[in-house]
Amino acid sequence: LSIRATAYADELVQTAKSIASPGRGILAIDESNATCGKRLASIGLDNNESNRQAYRQLLLTTPGLGEYISGAILFEETLYQSTTDGKKFVDCLREENIVPGIKVDKGLVPLPGSNNESWCQGLDGLASRSAKYYKQGACFAKWPSELAVKEAAWGLARYAAISQDNGLVPIVEPEILLDGDHSIDRTLQVAEKVWAEVFFYLLQNIVMFEGILLKPSMVLPGAEHKKKATPEQVAEYTLRMLKRRVPPAVPGIMFLSGGQSEVEATLNLNAMNQSPNPWHVSFSYARALQNTVLKTWKGLPENVEAAQKALLICAKANSLAQLGRYSA
Ligand code: 13P
């Protein structure tokens, strides 16, 4: 093994550090057009480019957002979009000191021979697409994957190496879904296995740990399990898993919300920041930052300001949770 030789090494470290900065986390709005359509349908809007643009404009032009948000993950369409006044979304983010990121995969398909598991398409051509995204202003990337463990772990490691060679800080996210009635101990076991595998392949692909960010699921009992875990239990289990598996060279751990309510996601993050951690432990939420915003907006221009306020309130709560200072 040697050290990764990429011309972007210093820049990657800087980008990762600035995303993992105190009191800030990531706003994930990288829903594919199909998933964004589901969000819009929940408030009775059609899934067309102009509605998606209006919704993304609401989120990305929220005044003061950069105080709590350090990075925003975009879908490809949004990376190339502008506001109705013709200002590039990427520039709106830069003005708030928010780093633009990009979801670089090409969607999930069934993995042949597996137990209904899926894997991610898009490694083919990823290097040239990454270079293009970087030119358009993206500085970090995301590639999700589900549980066909070995395939996913290898794919994540290949994606991470390609991203780093093209100037993008890869967010490494082996998503472990909340579905099921399993116990929190079972989740811990699975998470430990998955992260062991992921780091094994990251190392084989000479990925530079100082220039990646992780996006784990919190260690929780399955959504249909009879007993909910307290924030203290979630923090204890999740930190135990991270301490066993993640080297301190990794600058930031940016949790996904995974279908938890806004309050749950914030309380759990807050509990994890009650004592110092070797990494910046923060958020990269989609649903837990957008639920109230969507309900407040309802697709009406007169509600935009109120919806932006709702986003700021939720982002601030998580900013405080990142600092371990949130109280409900
Ligand atoms: P949720 O926070 O809604 O689980 O989404 C996370 C995610 O992966 C989006 O980028």
User: What is the rounded distance in angstroms from the CA atom of residue 166 to the CA atom of residue 7?
Assistant: 9
Tell me which residue of 146, 244, 238 sits closest to 185, measured CA to CA: 238
User: What is the rounded distance in angstroms from the CA atom of residue 165 to the CA atom of residue 202?
Assistant: 14
Distance 287 CA to ligand 1 centre (A): 6
Ligand 1 atom closest to the Cα of residue 103 is 10
Pocket mutation for ligand 1, best pick of 19, 38, 213, 257 (most atoms within 8 Å of C-beta):
257
Residues 6+ apart with CB under 8 A from 17: 251
Residues with CB under 6 A from ligand 1: 28, 30, 73, 144, 256-258, 285-288
Ligand 1 atom 8, closest CA: 256
Pocket mutation for ligand 1, best pick of 19, 213, 268, 284 (most atoms within 8 Å of C-beta):
284
Distance 130 CA to ligand 1 centre (A): 21
| Per-residue model confidence (pLDDT) at position 148 | 72
User: What is the rounded distance in angstroms from the CA atom of residue 48 to the CA atom of residue 70?
Assistant: 28
Ligand 1 atom closest to the Cα of residue 287 is 3
Distance 2 CA to ligand 1 centre (A): 33
Ligand 1 atom 10, closest CA: 28
CB count within 10 Å of CB 327 equals 8
- Strand 280-285 and strand 252-255: the pairing is parallel
| Per-residue model confidence (pLDDT) at position 6 | 85
- Do 106 and 121 touch, CB atoms closer than 8 A? yes
pLDDT < 70 regions, the chain: 1-2, 146-147
> Which residues are known catalytic residues?
173, 215
CA 321 to chain centre: 17
CB count within 10 Å of CB 68 equals 25
Instruction: Report residue 315 as tokens.
Output: 């982002």
| Per-residue model confidence (pLDDT) at position 9 | 92
Pocket mutation for ligand 1, best pick of 75, 145, 287, 293 (most atoms within 8 Å of C-beta):
287
CB count within 10 Å of CB 233 equals 17
Ligand 1 atom 4, closest CA: 258
Distance 64 CA to ligand 1 centre (A): 22
- Do 152 and 109 touch, CB atoms closer than 8 A? no
